[in-house]
Amino acid sequence: MIDTILGKKLGMTQIFDEKGTVIPVTVVQAGPCRVTQIRTKEKDGYEAVQLGFDETSRLKKPQIGHQKDLVRTVEDGKRSKTFGLKHLREIRTSDTSSYTVGDTVSADQLFNNGDVIDVTGTSKGKGFAGVMKRHNFHGGPRTHGQSDRARAPGSIGSGTTPGRVVKGLRMAGHMGMDRVTTQNLKIVRIDAEKNLVLIKGAVPGSNGGLVLIRKAVKGGK
């Protein structure tokens, strides 16, 4: 049985619990996902289920061919549009016998209210950023004649030894657009009819971004 589902972050809001306490929640459209491929140990060397999510007509021929049993064609006047699944992700599992290509996976099949989960997404892109914004550097002195060193990184290495800039040194550069996982979040409510999952707190990424929801690997309480 797989323990992960694909979804789309819709935004944040707040709800009230039975005691009238305000709970900040992130609304995620979790599924429905379709099974697009089955990986077996005999054929592929490992067990996995490939899930597809978010229907679109902007697919290339190899993508359409991969989903040939699931795509649908709609006649639009003189032209026809072929719809398939935009996002494909493989989910490792120990047993794939209960799944076949074309099966539908929804959030209420995998999760319940109160479950603890991990959410993975792509963080917001911030563009090129300096060391103070990107790495929380303190900056240089604002006095003693250093008029142009306030937000500079300072020295990035010694002269003779090692005589080079070491790998991994924190410097200015592209910030954001990283794969981020927030662990041990709690499911407050599941709306099975609308395929919505309300998660307490914030999850990575911008509104409309792809997220993966899975059962907490560290077993948070």
pLDDT in tens, 177-188: 999 999 999 999
pLDDT averaged per 10 residues in sequence order, the chain, 221 residues: 92 92 95 90 91 90 89 82 90 88 90 93 95 94 85 89 91 95 94 93 94 87 59
What residues does each domain of the chain span? Answer: 4-123+179-215, 126-157+167-175
DSSP classification of residue 125: P
Question: For residue 70, what are its two tokens?
Answer: 């699931």
Three-class SS state of 107:
helix
Global pTM?
A: 0.85
Do residues 53 and 6 make contact, with C-beta atoms less than 8 angstroms apart? Answer: yes
User: Which residue, chain included where needed, has tokens 């929804």?
Assistant: 106
Counting residues of the chain whose pLDDT is more than 70, the rounded percentage is 99
CATH number belonging to domain 4-123+179-215: 2.40.30.10
Distance CA(41)–CA(53), nearest Å, equals: 24
Q: How many CB atoms lie within 10 A of CB 82?
A: 16
> What pLDDT shows up at residue 89?
93
Distance CA(12)–CA(155), nearest Å, equals: 42
